[in-house]
Structure 1
Amino acid sequence: MANIQIHAGDFSKGKGTISANDMVFVMSTAWQAGDGFLGKSHTITRSEVEEVSLATEENVKRLGGTVGWGVAGAALLGPIGLLAGLLLGGKGKDVTFILKLKDGRKMLATTDSKTFTKIAAMAF
């Protein structure tokens, strides 16, 4: 299991865990009111994944519009130096990406490069 940090989108924001293989990944997100005592997990199959892409300023704007970028950039990611470090993956170990599902759900998240590779492979 790997760690995942969800920054924005249709899933609970915060730290969680993710387990991925060729056909499915299971993501346990940060606990929120209404998630029950043990929290909530999401199982996402290969057939549900529409697109996985590395986060850049351009595609983050498309994800949430100009307002979404302002919120994600200013409130969640902090100063420009931190934003650049997060978007570029910091030391090559972590990757910030956008996941879009066929049902319209999406998220901006960061995980390790090995887990990202498994998730990205599900889009093919």
Structure 2
Amino acid sequence: MGLGRIDILAGDFKKGLESQYVHGKFLMKKEGSFFREKILPSQIEHLELATEESVINVGGAAGWGIAGSVLLGPAGLVAGLIIGAKGKDVTFVCKFKDGRKFLGTASGSVFTELQKTFMASSL
């Protein structure tokens, strides 16, 4: 896997397309910082496709539940996030062991690579 951009929709990192998953590590942009922070997949605590339930469970009802509703409306949260415009992108929830988290969208191939790496590092 070469380069995969992650569109951060909500969470503890800068929103937008400035974060990446490259060669088995996250390069995450923090708000107000010029540099990206390198985070290894071994630091992932939780990774799953975004559903309304998973966003609320990981982010809290008062946090990401509201953020997701503001972004897409309550009815569009599940359909819009999981399917994506052309069915090629997936939206997922990622929580790190240090408590930071994000809701992001990436290509299906990037998410599959993330899942494989996460599963391998958690064994």
Normalised by the shorter chain, which TM-score bucket?
A: 0.7 to 0.9
2:22 corresponds, among 20, 23, 46, to 20
| 2:91/2:105 contact within 8 Å kept | yes
**Residue 77 of structure 1 contacts residue 83 of structure 1 at CA under 8 Å; is this kept in 2?**
no
2:5 to 3, 6, 12: 3
Q: Aligned-pair distance for 1:82?
A: 6.5
Q: Which has the higher mean CA deviation after the structures are superposed, 41-50 or 52-61?
A: 41-50
| Structure 1 moving runs of 4+ over 3 Å | none
Residue 99 of structure 1 and its aligned partner are, at CA, apart by 0.8
- Conserved in 1, the CA contact under 8 Å of 2:9 and 2:103? yes
User: Could you tell me the percent identity over the aligned residues?
Assistant: 44
- Report the CA distance shift for 1:116/1:58 in structure 2 as closer, same or farther (over 3 A): same
Unaligned runs of 5+ in 2: none
Q: CA RMSD in A?
A: 2.2
TM-score (norm 1): 0.78
TM-score (normalised: structure 2): 0.78
How many pairs does the alignment contain?
Answer: 117
Q: Secondary structure at the match of 2:26?
A: strand
Cα 1:105/1:82, change in 2 over 3 Å: closer
* Structure 1 residue 48 corresponds to structure 2 residue 43: yes
Determine the C-alpha separation between the residues in 2 that align with 1:98 and 1:53: 6
1:120 is aligned to: 115
- Quickly say closer, same or farther: Cα 1:112–1:56, change in 2 above 3 A: same
Gaps of 5+ in 1: none
